[in-house]
Structure 1
C-alpha cells in the first residue's frame, strides 16, 4: 500500500499487534517466521523489534550463525527509526505480502460492531414506469441521539429530508469494490469514481452512481481510437471535470510510476482514455497532493513522491495551453505534507488545511494569495478541528465543508465547516461508531437534488475498506453563525461584503429590505442629484466599455500570438523529431564505420607485426648469405692451394709455386 501515514481502524498499535500475532511474531521471543520469504521475514523481524524494543543496542553476534548475523544486521540497519514508523512499515509490508490478512484476524482482535445497518441491496428493483421513485433512507446515528424517520424524509424533500445529518440511501446496481484513496467527480448528476486502493492493490476501474435514480454501474472503457490508452492502476490521484464531457486524472501513486506527473483525460462521449500532451517542466511524480481548479488553471500543491519524500512545492497547469509552470512563492510555505485538503476562495485565495507527515498529522491552515504568491498562516476562529489527514472537502459559496480523515489512532467523526471569509470553524454534525464517514481516503463531491445542494461521500478506510455512499444536506446555519462572529476576513472588501451574507433565505430578505430603503432615501433626499448621477454613470459605463474593448483586443492578440507560438512549437517539435531520426541514422552509420575502422586497425597491426618479422628474417637471410659466400670463398682458396681436399687431408706439402 502507498500511504503517507499509518491507516487506522483500531487504534494503530492494536492493529500492529494483531498483524504481528498473525505473522508469527506474537510471542516474547519472536523468530523469523516461515510464512514469508527469508528477506521479507527478516525485515518483519527487524521492524517488530524496532517497534517493541527500540533501536538495536545489542553487540554484533560473535558466533558463526548466519541467521543470527542477518537478524542483527537487519535490526541494526533501522537506526533510530521511530516506533510508530516501524509499526506502520510492518503493517504495510504485511498487507503487500498478504492483502487479505485483516479479514482472517477475528481470532486475534475484537472488531467493534456498528449499530447502524447500511441498506445495500444490489437486487432492489427500479420502477417500471417513468415515475421517479425516491430511495429509502436510513440515518447515520449522531452524537446527540437524534434520528430521522425514513417516511418523513421521503415525503419532505426526497432523498434528504433533514439538514446537517448524514443519511445512507438504498441504492441499486452492482456496488464498486471497496476502496480508499480513489478520486471522484460529478458530471451531469452522475458521480464518477476512478481508481483507488483495495487490499494493497491499485485499481483502474471507472464506476458511476446516477444521483437521480441512485443506481451504480460500471463504465465500459473502450480502446477504439489510436490515441486511446489503458490507464495504469493508481491511487492518491485527483479527478477534475472539464469542458462538460471530460474527466481529467492528475498524478497518483502506481506500481509502474513515471518520473513526472501524468495527466490523462477520459472522454465521456467516446468512453476512451487518452494522455494529454503537456509542455514546460512537469512536477515529479507524486500522490496525495491537492489539485484545485482556479478558472482554467490547475494549482497543485504538495504530496509524496515514489521515494516517500514529502513535498511542499507549488505548480500550475494552464488547461488552455497545457503548459506547466513551477511557482516561486514568498512568505513561509506549509511544511511538506500529503493527504491534505485544498480549496479556492474568491478565485484568489488558495487554502490548505491539515494533512500529514510520516509520523504526525496537522490541523494548521495556510492561505496563498494567488495574485501576490505570498503565503500566510492566519489565526483560526471557532471550533478549530483536530489534526487529521486523508480527509475530503468541498465548497459551497463561502463555506468549506470537511469530512473524515484520521490521526493514526482513530477516524475523525466530526463534519466541520469553515467560513472562508471570516476563517471561523463550526461543527455541522458528529457520527458515532466506526462508520465510513469516519474514514481516511474517502471522497466528497457536491451535487444537487430538487434545487438544493447535497454532499455525497463514498468509500474510505477505517480498519476495513468501504464502498458506502452517504448524503448530507447542509443548512448553512453554521456559516451564518461564523459570519456574525466578526472574525477577521482574508480580504477587507470581500469580508465586508460577505459579512452581510448569512443563509440564503436571510440574504434575500435582508437585501430586499435594504434595496427598498435605499430607493426611498434616494427619492426623498437625492432626487435633485439624479441627473448628475446618471451622467456620471453613463460616462463611467462608456469608459468601462472602451476599456473592455481594449482588453478584448489585447486578449485576442495574445490568443493569436499564443496560437502562432503553438504552431511554431509544433513545427519545431516535428523538425526536431526529424533531426533526431536523422541523428540516430547517422549514429548507426558512424557505429558501422567505427567498427570497420577498428577492424582495419587490427589488420594493419597484424601486417605491421608480419612486416617486422619479415624484416628480421631478411636480415638473418643476408647474414647467412654473407656467411655462405665467405665460406665458399675460403673453401675455394684452400682447394687451390692444397691440391684439393684430399691432398690437404693426406698432409701433402704445398708446391713451391703455391708458396
Structure 2
C-alpha cells in the first residue's frame, strides 16, 4: 500500500461506499462536516482495512475518476467494485463506474457506452447482485414531467419541484448486465413495495430483500422479497414483533436463512443502535444483544466479514440533517454466529499475548503470521478505546 501504519485510520464519514473483497474492507467517498459546510471526501483515494489485523492503509486511484460524492450505491462482482448514482456538487447523478480491486492499479473506468437506458439520477438507492447482473432498486432523485409514467412507481416530493423537474421517491427495478454492458428495466409481478429511499437491502441466493426506509414523510420496517429470476414481489409478514420504523440503516445477509439489521434513524428522528436478526424461513425477528449499544449509527455501511461477522464502518451518531457533527470512523464488529474453535483460539492468544509471549516462537510460520495479525487487531482496538475514553 502507498501508506500503511497502525496509527493510520480512514477519516470519519457518512454516505460512503464500502465492501469486503478477500480479507479487506474497502472504503470510498462519502462526506463529512467541516464547520457549517458539508465537504465531499476525495474520490482519488481508496481506504483498505485489514479485517484480521485491524490495520488501515490507503491507495491513490487513477483513470476516469468519479467526482467526489455521497449516497452512491456500491457492490462487488468478480473483484470489480461498481458504484452507481449518488449526489455531487452538481446534484444527483446516474453514472456507473467500476474499478478492479485485485490488480493493484486501482484504475477507474466510466461505463460510457452501455446500451439501453440507465435509471434517472438518484441517490440513497440499493443493489442486489445475481447472475452477473447488478439490480438496482428505489432511491430519491429527479425526473422531468415527461419521464413520470406511473404515479405508483414515483411519488413526487411536493416540497421540491422546480418548473418541469420533479424530485421524489421511486420503487423502480433497473438491471445492468455486466456481460452484455446493457441496461434494462424488467416488468415485475406481485405487489411492489411503496416508493422509498434510504432503505436497506440484501441478497440471499436468487432472492433480493428490502427492508424499511423513508416512504414520503414516514419511516418503515416492512420487509419485501423480489425473486430475481421471475421478477415477482412478495411482502413478508413477520410472525413476531418487529423493529421500529427507520431509514439510513443496513441489512446484511449472514447465512442462507438470516439477515442482520443494524442502526438507522427512527420515525422520531432518533439515531438507533439496536441490532436484529431476521430468520427468513421462520419469518421471525429477534433482537440481538451486542456490545455497541452506546454507539448509534445512521448512513453507515455494513459488510459481511469472516465467520459471519458484520463490519460496520463510519456513519453518523447524530441526526445529520440537524446536527451534522457526529460522523464516525471506527469499525464495529458484530458476531452473529458462534465462532469455530480455531477462531476462538486465535482470538484468545491475540488478547493474552503477554501471558503467552514466550511460546509464540514455537508456532508454525503460517500460523504465527495469523496470530500476529490478531495481536495487532486487539492491540489497536485497545489503544483506540483508550483514546476515545480520554476524549
Pair in the same fold by TM > 0.5: yes
Question: What residue number does 2:235 align with?
Answer: 377
Matches of 1:346 and 1:433, distance apart in 2: 31
Structure 2 stretches lacking a partner, 5+ long: 143-165, 319-325, 342-391
Which stretch shifts more, 283-292 or 390-399? 390-399
Question: What residue number does 1:460 align with?
Answer: 315
* Residue in structure 2 matching 1:337, options 177, 191, 196: 196
Matches of 1:343 and 1:187, distance apart in 2: 16
Cα deviation for residue 372 of structure 1 reads 3.2
Matches of 1:216 and 1:322, distance apart in 2: 34
- Whether the 8 Å contact between 1:345 and 1:420 is mirrored in structure 2 is no
Matches of 1:433 and 1:454, distance apart in 2: 17
Cα deviation for residue 430 of structure 1 reads 5.0
Question: What residue number does 1:413 align with?
Answer: 273
- The question of 1:475 aligning with 2:337 is answered yes
For residues 466 and 410 of structure 1, do their structure 2 counterparts lie closer, same or farther at Cα, with a shift above 3 Å needed?
same
- The question of 1:326 aligning with 2:161 is answered no
Matches of 1:365 and 1:458, distance apart in 2: 24
Structure 1, residues 88-117: CA drift from partner, whole Å, max 9, x if none?
xxxxxxxxxxxxxxxxxxxxxxxxxxxxxx
- Whether the 8 Å contact between 1:413 and 1:430 is mirrored in structure 2 is no
Structure 1, residues 22-68: CA drift from partner, whole Å, max 9, x if none?
xxxxxxxxxxxxxxxxxxxxxxxxxxxxxxxxxxxxxxxxxxxxxxx
SS at match of 2:224: strand
* Larger relative helix fraction: 1
Structure 1, residues 170-213: CA drift from partner, whole Å, max 9, x if none?
xx232222111111111221111111121122222421111232
- Whether the 8 Å contact between 1:434 and 1:462 is mirrored in structure 2 is no
The number of residues matched between the two structures is 297
Question: What residue number does 1:428 align with?
Answer: 288
Matches of 1:318 and 1:195, distance apart in 2: 24
* Residue in structure 1 matching 2:299, options 437, 441, 444: 441
Question: What residue number does 1:210 align with?
Answer: 50
Cα deviation for residue 240 of structure 1 reads 1.6
- The question of 1:273 aligning with 2:108 is answered yes
Cα deviation for residue 440 of structure 1 reads 0.9
- Whether the 8 Å contact between 1:186 and 1:445 is mirrored in structure 2 is yes
Structure 1 stretches lacking a partner, 5+ long: 1-124, 127-171, 223-227, 477-502, 506-659
Matches of 1:409 and 1:433, distance apart in 2: 17
Matches of 2:133 and 2:106, distance apart in 1: 24
Larger radius of gyration: 1
Cα deviation for residue 420 of structure 1 reads 1.6
SS at match of 2:171: strand
TM-score of the two chains, using structure 2 as the length reference:
0.71
The higher relative CO (CA closer than 8 Å, separation ≥ 6) is in 2
Cα-Cα RMSD:
2.3
Cα deviation for residue 216 of structure 1 reads 1.2
For residues 186 and 378 of structure 1, do their structure 2 counterparts lie closer, same or farther at Cα, with a shift above 3 Å needed?
closer
- Whether the 8 Å contact between 1:173 and 1:217 is mirrored in structure 2 is no
- The question of 1:389 aligning with 2:247 is answered yes
Cα deviation for residue 353 of structure 1 reads 0.6
* Residue in structure 1 matching 2:12, options 148, 155, 178: 178
Cα deviation for residue 286 of structure 1 reads 0.8
Matches of 1:320 and 1:432, distance apart in 2: 41
Matches of 1:387 and 1:430, distance apart in 2: 20
